[in-house]
Amino acid sequence: MKRKTTVLLGSALAAFLLLAGVFTINQLAAFSELLSRIHPYAGYGFLVIASAIIIFTLLSVIRFFRMPKRPRLPLNETARDFPFYVDYLCMTLSAHPLHNEPLRKEKDLRWLRANLKLLEVDSLNTIKQIATKNFFVGAFAQNTSYGTTTSLKNILKAVWNTYAIHHRNHHAMEFSALVRSVYACLPLSDFKKDDIPAHIKPIIQSSFSNTLSSLLPGGNLLTPFFMNLFLAGATNTYLTCLSGIIAIRHCQAVSEDDHREIVQQSMFEASFMLKEIVRECNPILSVTISNAVKKAGIESLDTVQPPSVGSNIAQDIVSHLATSLKSIIRENISVETGERR
C-alpha cells in the first residue's frame, strides 16, 4: 500500500509539473509574439527576462529546501572521525560574544566545549521565559483551541530560538529535522505506558509542593479548582522545557554517546526548571485567582435583594447573611492590600 501511494503521488506531481510547464511556456510565447509586433526585439528581450526570473526562482527554492551537508556523528571521542566532526561544529556553530577567544582561527575541542556552555546558558534563559508564558496559557486556557495553538506555537518558538542561537546559518530542512527529532523524544509520540510515570512524577511534585501552602483551608470548595489550574499549567510548562532542552542536546551532541542520553538528561533538567518556574508563578496565579473569586463573590452577593416590608423570615436571613459575607470579604481584601503595601 505504501509503495502504491508513493507511485500515485509521484505520478500526480509529475503530471502537474508537466501541465504547469506547458501552460507557462504557451503563455510566455503568446505574450512574446504580441510584443514582437510592437518592436522586433521586444519579444526576445521579454523571453530572456522571463527565463532569468524563472531560473532565479527555481534556484531560490532549491537553496531554501536544500539540506546542508553534515558529517556522520562519531561513535565516541576516541573514534577516528571525531576530530573532523569537531572541526565541522566549530565552523557551523555560532561563536558566543562572551567567549574568551571568540575570533580564534584554530579552534579545538576545548574551545568548542566552552562555546557550547555559553550558548546553552542563553538557550536555557530563553526557554525559561517561553515556558513561563506557557504556564499561564495552560492554566487559564486549558482544553481550548486558543490554548492548544498558543502552546504549540510557543513550543516551536522555543525550539527555533535554540536552533537560531546555536547555528550561524539557518536552513529550513535542518530545522524541520530538528523538530521531528524533538517530537520523537517527547512522551506519547510513541505511546509507551512504562515511560509515562517518569514524566508525570515531576509535574505532580512541583504542583503539590508549591501550591498546598498557598491554598485556602483544607476542605474548601476552591481547592480542586486551584489544583486543576496548577496541574494544567505545570504540564504545559514541563512539555515546553522538555522540548527546548531536547533541542539543546541535539544541537550540542558531539558523539553517539551523547545522543543516546538525550531523553534522560533532558527529563532531569526539565524537572528542575519546572520547579523553579512553578515556584515563581505560584504567588501570581494564587493571588489572581483569589482576587477574582472574591470580586465575583461580592458582585454575586450584590444581587441579593435587601429586606423589605412584607418579606418572610427566610428572605431576611438570606439578606443579612449576604451583607455579612460582603463585609467579611471586603475586610479580607483591605487587609491583604495593606500587607502588600
Could you count the other beta carbons within 10 Å of the beta carbon of residue 278?
25
Could you count the other beta carbons within 10 Å of the beta carbon of residue 81?
13
CB distance 187 to 263 below 8 Å: no
**How many Å apart are CA 108 and CA 312, to the nearest integer?**
89
The cell for 254 is 558531539
pLDDT tier for residue 216 given thresholds of 50, 70 and 90: very low
**How many Å apart are CA 268 and CA 248, to the nearest integer?**
14
Q: What whole-number percentage of the chain has pLDDT above 90?
A: 19
The cell for 109 is 575541542
User: Alpha carbon 227 to chain centroid distance?
Assistant: 24
pLDDT per position as a tens digit, 156-212: 999 999 999 999 888 888 999 999 999 988 887 776 777 778 888 888 887 776 555
Could you count the other beta carbons within 10 Å of the beta carbon of residue 245?
26
Nearest in space to 155 (alpha carbons), one of 258, 253, 51, 241: 241
Predicted model pTM? 0.76
pLDDT tier for residue 330 given thresholds of 50, 70 and 90: low
Q: What is the mean pLDDT of residues 223-247?
A: 86
Nearest in space to 281 (alpha carbons), one of 139, 149, 172: 139
**How many Å apart are CA 6 and CA 29, to the nearest integer?**
34
Could you count the other beta carbons within 10 Å of the beta carbon of residue 1?
5
CB distance 285 to 136 below 8 Å: yes
* Residue given cell 507557462 in the structure block: 24
**How many Å apart are CA 319 and CA 296, to the nearest integer?**
17
Could you count the other beta carbons within 10 Å of the beta carbon of residue 41?
9
Is pLDDT of 122 > 90? yes
Q: Which amino acid is at 18?
A: L
- Give how far Cα 281 sits from Cα of 63, 156, 174, Å: 44, 22, 34
Nearest in space to 270 (alpha carbons), one of 330, 186, 337: 186
pLDDT per position as a tens digit, 14-64: 888 888 888 888 887 887 888 778 777 787 887 888 888 888 988 888 888
Q: H helices within 253-261, ranges in order?
A: 256-260
